[in-house]
Amino acid sequence: MSNDFFLFLHSLLRYAVLLTVAFAGLTHLSGYLRRKPILNGERTIAIVAMVLCHVQLVVGLSLYIGRVKHYVTESVSGRFWKFEHIGMMIVAIALVTIGRMLSKRANMEPSKQLRVAVFYLIALAIFLWATPWPFTEYGHGRGWL
C-alpha cells in the first residue's frame, strides 16, 4: 500500500481518536461527578478509544519509518515531525492505556471513573496540541484530511 493511503487513513483516524477519547473522558468525568456506576457502554467506549489509539499508533509508525529520511533534511519542521509529534503522541497513547489499565485495577467505581477521566482528558489535551492542524505552522497546506 502506498504512503498516500496510510497518510489519508492516519488523518481520518485522528477524528475517531479525538472523538472517542473526548467522549470517554467526559462521560467518565460526568459519572464520577454524579457518583453513578460505570455502565457497559461507558466501559466499551473507553476500550474502543484505546484500541483506536493503538491502531493510529501503528499507522503513524509506518508513516514515520517510511518518511524518516525525508525529514532529516528539514530543520524546524523536521524537528516537529521527528521528535515532537511522534513523541507526544506516544506519551498521549501511553496515558490512555495506563488510564484504562489503572481503571481495571481500581476497587471502587468512583476511582475507576476518575482514573479514566483524568488520563483520557490529559491525553486529549496532548493530542490536540501535537496534531498538525491546517491553521498551524506544521499543518499549513495539509488540509483537514
CA dist., res. 9 & res. 16, Å (int):
11
User: Model confidence over 3-16: pLDDT tens digits?
Assistant: 788 888 999 999 99
Q: Are 118 and 46 in contact (CB under 8 A)?
A: no
CA dist., res. 85 & res. 145, Å (int):
17
Give the pLDDT band (50/70/90) at residue 70.
low
Cell of 110: 468512583
Domain boundaries, the chain: 3-129
Q: Is 26 exposed, middle or buried (0-12, 13-18, 19+ CB in 10 A)?
A: middle
- Which amino acid is residue 122, in one-letter code? I
User: Model confidence over 15-67: pLDDT tens digits?
Assistant: 999 999 999 999 999 999 999 888 888 899 999 999 999 999 999 998 888 76
- Predicted TM-score (pTM) of the model is 0.88
